[in-house]
Amino acid sequence: MFKKLYTKHMGTDSWLYASVLWLLVYKMLPGSPDENLVQLWEQMRAFYKARHITGTYSNMFLCLFTKRRSPNTSYPKMRGKACEIKLLGEALLQVWLHYDDAASDIHGQIRLLLQYSVGLDAILHDNREVSCLPPAIFRQFMDTCERFLVLYSAVNRHFVDSGYLLFNVTPKLHLLWHAAHACQHVVNKLVDKFARGFTFRMQRQAAF
């Protein structure tokens, strides 16, 4: 049975979804950050309720993804459990589609990032009872993953060049590719253990 990739939900997704929320709350909606977040969360809760989705965040606060008093001094990152972060994907995609500017290239790229992220989770969910991804599905999975990684890095460069710390690029971006590639051979639980162990070793090496 497939277990969701640790490097995705606690890694790249946590940076991606926090950055999208940051943009919506601080740059795209007209109200105060608190008012904007309340508005977004009401829409996301309605999405969850309509689809009977449980296991989500019970509420949403600015402190769950950014520093309230200095929101652009460090990269936004979601706090929470892997399941809570994972379940933000579809709901966040829906609110992004509601507010994004169809004429903006960067908004279109962010829309694609969200679609890729949600698509990767959907493939794993649809194949959760198999030990490894069948060849055709694996090729689709890897293609989506590689497109996601390349685009994510490009979006990060855009915002860094514009003076914003958004869409942080970390070693887990590279680890995600390795973990995804292993899905053609081993069960996702083993991929998860590999990713955790590899990340821990890299962090220890960086500490010395």
Nearest to 43 by CA among 95, 108, 84: 95
Residue range 13-63, pLDDT digits in tens: 999 999 999 999 999 999 999 999 999 999 999 999 999 999 999 999 999
Helices vs strands, H then E, count in the chain: 9, 0
Containing 45, the helix (H) or strand (E) segment is helix 33-50
User: What confidence score (pLDDT) does residue 208 get?
Assistant: 35
User: What confidence score (pLDDT) does residue 4 get?
Assistant: 46
User: What confidence score (pLDDT) does residue 5 get?
Assistant: 55
User: What confidence score (pLDDT) does residue 175 get?
Assistant: 81
3-state secondary structure 164-192: CCCCCCCHHHHHHHHHHHHHHCCCHHHHH
The structural domains of the chain, with segments of one domain joined by +, span 6-206
Residue range 54-66, pLDDT digits in tens: 999 999 999 999 9
User: What confidence score (pLDDT) does residue 206 get?
Assistant: 40
Q: Is 166 within 8 Å of 159 (Cβ atoms)?
A: yes
Distance CA 85, CA 129 (A): 22
User: What confidence score (pLDDT) does residue 40 get?
Assistant: 98
User: What confidence score (pLDDT) does residue 171 get?
Assistant: 84
Residues of the chain with pLDDT under 70: 1-6, 186-208
Distance CA 92, CA 99 (A): 11
